Structure 1
């Protein structure tokens, strides 16, 4: 049930504060966000660093993740990007604010509601680093998609290497 509440909360925030009138402008970056998560799920299928716990409504990680992809990610991108500061001096605090929001949500999911588990050395410090990268990458993708894809390949290789993910075992 908490997954539904989280998704609905983000949808409300996205509806209230996101730039829905111009959703087409953000659509490629929303897809970039979703594809990144899909890629994580494929590459780490046999060696996950974290996963969602089932509940009464969602019987497995995959269905929960799809729910998050269609609710939280679009709402996040529409809200985050539509308010991203143009002034360089304000960008880092904005990135850190959203990182804190995501970390707070993960801490609630991990320690309060039992919605998520960490594995294979992943912890909240890695989540914080990943969220900083994520919230840095979204505006880059929005303005310069090919640069973001190139940087993402480097980030993927970094995380696969650090967490010793064996991709040769994939189907």
Structure 2
């Protein structure tokens, strides 16, 4: 049920704000975004998670799991985010660019705060909402960079991953 509500919300964002007619322009950045989450899921989700989604009771009754929620986020939320965020990013005015960027960080913060309030997300290994805000701030910056300079975005992502890896003392056992 909750998953369906989020799906409808992000589908609405995609239809109303997304530049879905020009999706090919954004496709590499969508894949980049999804790949980051796939790597997290593969390496950390089962062995050393930072967070996991907790299905609502109605979702649990029909067999929805953390993995289902993660995949639905990748398939709906990420494309909607990229197609809306990048399509409407202000071209001029430093203040407007910062305001727009921070508005998207805030949208993700509000989304996660709702999840946390209703116990739809659980944090592990020292992760918390503050880390999520930092992560989202870096993520939105890197998504914009990737759209224009993909190689630089890969380098910046690598640096940030090493920072998080060391900060959260991720054990080598995650490499299986």
Q: How far does residue 58 in structure 1 lie from its aligned partner after superposition?
A: 4.7
**How is 1:90-129 mapped onto 2 (pairs within 5 angstroms)?**
90-111=96-117, 113-129=118-134
Which moved further from structure 2: 101-110 or 91-100? 91-100
The count of aligned residue pairs is 170
Q: Is the 8 A contact 1:43 1:167 kept in 2?
A: no
Secondary structure in 2 matching 1:117? strand
Equivalent residue, structure 1, for 2:158? 153
- Contact 2:43/2:174 (<8 A) preserved: no
Distance 2:72 2:63 in 1: 9
Structure 1 CA distance for aligned equivalents of residues 174 and 104 of structure 2: 35
Per-residue CA deviations over 1:70-117 (Å, capped at 9, x if unaligned) read: 010000100000001122502221111001110000000011x22110
1:162, distance to aligned residue in structure 2 (A): 0.6
TM-score (norm 2): 0.92
2 CA distance for matches of 1:51 and 1:8? 21
Tell me if 1:10 matches 2:10.
yes
Pairing 1:30-69 to 2, within 5 Å after superposition: 30-45=30-45, 46-54=47-55, 55-56=59-60, 57-69=62-74
TM superposition outliers: structure 1 runs of 4+ over 4 Å? none
Counterparts of 1:151 and 1:58, CA distance in 2:
37
Q: CA offset at residue 145 of structure 1?
A: 0.5
- CA–CA separation in structure 2 for the residues paired with 1:135 and 1:23: 18
Secondary structure of residue in 1 paired with 2:86: helix
CA displacement, residues 112-165 of structure 1 (integer Å, 9 cap, x when unaligned): x22110111111110110010011011100001011011101111111111111
Q: Which runs of 5+ in 2 are unaligned?
A: none
What TM-score do the two structures reach when normalised by structure 1?
0.94
User: Which residue pairs with 1:170 in the alignment?
Assistant: 175
Structure 1: tracts of 5 or more residues without a match: none
Alpha-carbon separation, structure 2, partners of 1:170 and 1:121 = 20
